[in-house]
Amino acid sequence: MEKEKKMEGERVDATRRWVIGVGFWVQGFRLFPWLGVNFFLKDGMGVAASSLQILQASANLPMVGKPLLGLLSDAVPIRGYRRLPYVAIGALLQAISWLAIALWPAISLPNLTIFLLLSNFGASICEVANDAIVAEAGKQATSSSGSGQLQSFAWMFGSSAGALGNLVGGIALSYFSPKIMFLFFAILLVLQFCTTVAIPESSLQLPKADTNLSAVSSIRKQIKELSCALCMPEILWSVIWFSVSYAVIPFLLGTMFFYQTEVLRLDSSVIGLSKVFGQVALLAWSVAYNKYFKTTPARKVLSALQFLTALIMLSDVLFVQGIYRNLGIPDSIYTIVFSGLLEGLMLFKVLPFSVLVAKLCPSGCEGSVMAFVMSALALATIISGYLGVALAEFMGVSGGDFSALPTCLLIEAACTMLPLCLSSLIKERKEKDKKEE
């Protein structure tokens, strides 16, 4: 009897890991077609730097609604199941979007924008459902280490796929058109859809929906729990600081992309390697944080990361002025290392802040609060992208004139330093106080 139970447990665990691995790998590999989107817009459609950055920022709008999608998937099961049907729907929407972009002969910019929004809407559905599977399966683990292993497994698959997507994407652009990349990714999504539909959710043995509550009652209950958590000053002010630390930065991502490819004439493989370096740096930071910095106060870690981000931006000023080139450092090497590190640094703060939120949150509402935090992060990065476009336009930086780019980068670095003046908003609470509450 025990042997049968053990075999059943191993089978369930293997099925869960397959579903989680495929889900996180495919979503991580989204960086592959998105690298192609940048070059397709610049070379294939002749889009200006400001328009490119506006589209990049606006395409993330569906990510702002992730908390609502989480409430929907929790409260409205499809044929009695709350996770895999939503993963399948999300994969199908993405497949339709990328197929349309790949096969449309002369797609217009408005139509392209609509399909990119639809793709990210499908991706947000998948991410919400996949995160929920990891959370629910982790709670059923026999030990805290078992739960942590499942989360690490998901993180590893997503991050490795992101690095692979950027690496392969940079090389593929040298041999194929971006539309071939879109078509290839659409085929992967179709395979994910077929795989997801073929697996019954009952085989994952996840908690079933509460049939005693109606959909409206369930949503109201979860909104009430989220509201109570956000009313706690230490959570509210910490979330405000975290959001502001992104929103106040006029991020010049699209402008720098045009400078690197149009002025410096860097190859697409260099841009891909730069993004790979950022992904590798992100993985290395996660290991270093868990090993060395997990017990360090969150305020110190977050402030140090904010300061380091500003330093890299100041270094970009020297890069644009050609100082590193005069010192014998090739533009390609600087772009791979420092531009990649800067993109990674923009996400470094998520890990220590997630740990902080887990410490501050009342038990049982960590998931909904983190979904709200990631939604706020998506909105903040959209605002940051719009501010970057406004700054570049105001300073007269365009596809043919980058003379004011060093000044723009100085302003960007100065704005990055501003949240350090408000670091006292990051609240921490002792474990003893949490237990007493």
Which amino acid belongs to residue 215?
A: A
What distance in Å separates the CA atoms of residue 158 and residue 20, rounded to the nearest whole number? 10
What distance in Å separates the CA atoms of residue 16 and residue 163, rounded to the nearest whole number? 23
CATH architecture of 215-427: Up-down Bundle (1.20)
Top CATH class of 1-203 equals mainly alpha
| Lowest-pLDDT choice from 321-330, 367-376, 404-413 | 367-376
The stretch 362-375 carries a mean pLDDT of 72
Question: Taking a C-beta distance cutoff of 8 angstroms, is the pair 394, 264 a contact?
Answer: no
Q: Residue 433's pLDDT band (boundaries 50, 70, 90)?
A: low
The larger pLDDT score, comparing residue 348 to residue 384, is at 384
| Lowest-pLDDT choice from 88-97, 135-144, 366-375 | 135-144
pLDDT of 364 over the 70 cut: no
User: How much is the pLDDT for 268?
Assistant: 87
User: How much is the pLDDT for 363?
Assistant: 63
pLDDT of 180 over the 90 cut: yes
Q: Residue 145's pLDDT band (boundaries 50, 70, 90)?
A: very low
Which amino acid belongs to residue 197?
A: V
Question: Taking a C-beta distance cutoff of 8 angstroms, is the pair 47, 55 a contact?
Answer: yes
DSSP result, 163-178: HHHHHHHHHHTTTS-H
Residue 339 burial by Cβ neighbours in a 10 Å radius (0-12, 13-18, 19+): buried
What distance in Å separates the CA atoms of residue 77 and residue 427, rounded to the nearest whole number? 37
pLDDT of 431 over the 80 cut: no
Fold matches, 1-203 and 215-427: yes
Locate 45 and state its tokens: 């459609």
The stretch 422-433 carries a mean pLDDT of 72
> Percent of the chain scored above 90 by pLDDT?
41
Which amino acid belongs to residue 303?
A: S
Half-sphere exposure of 102 (CA within 13 A, CB side): 22
What distance in Å separates the CA atoms of residue 31 and residue 34, rounded to the nearest whole number? 5
User: How much is the pLDDT for 139?
Assistant: 64
Question: Taking a C-beta distance cutoff of 8 angstroms, is the pair 93, 111 a contact?
Answer: no
The stretch 398-413 carries a mean pLDDT of 89
What distance in Å separates the CA atoms of residue 154 and residue 164, rounded to the nearest whole number? 15
Q: Which residues pair with 78 in a beta bridge?
A: 81
Q: What is the pLDDT of residues 306-342, one digit of tens each?
A: 999 999 999 999 999 999 999 999 999 999 999 989 9
Locate 17 and state its tokens: 């890991």
Counts of helices then strands in the chain (DSSP H, E): 21, 0
Q: What is the pLDDT of residues 6-32, one digit of tens each?
A: 777 778 778 888 888 899 999 999 999
The one-character DSSP state at 209 is: P
Q: Residue 209's pLDDT band (boundaries 50, 70, 90)?
A: low
The stretch 151-179 carries a mean pLDDT of 86
Most confident of the ranges 102-111, 211-220, 336-345, 404-413: 404-413
Q: Residue 354's pLDDT band (boundaries 50, 70, 90)?
A: confident
How do the domains of the chain map onto residue ranges? Answer: 1-203, 215-427
The stretch 364-384 carries a mean pLDDT of 81
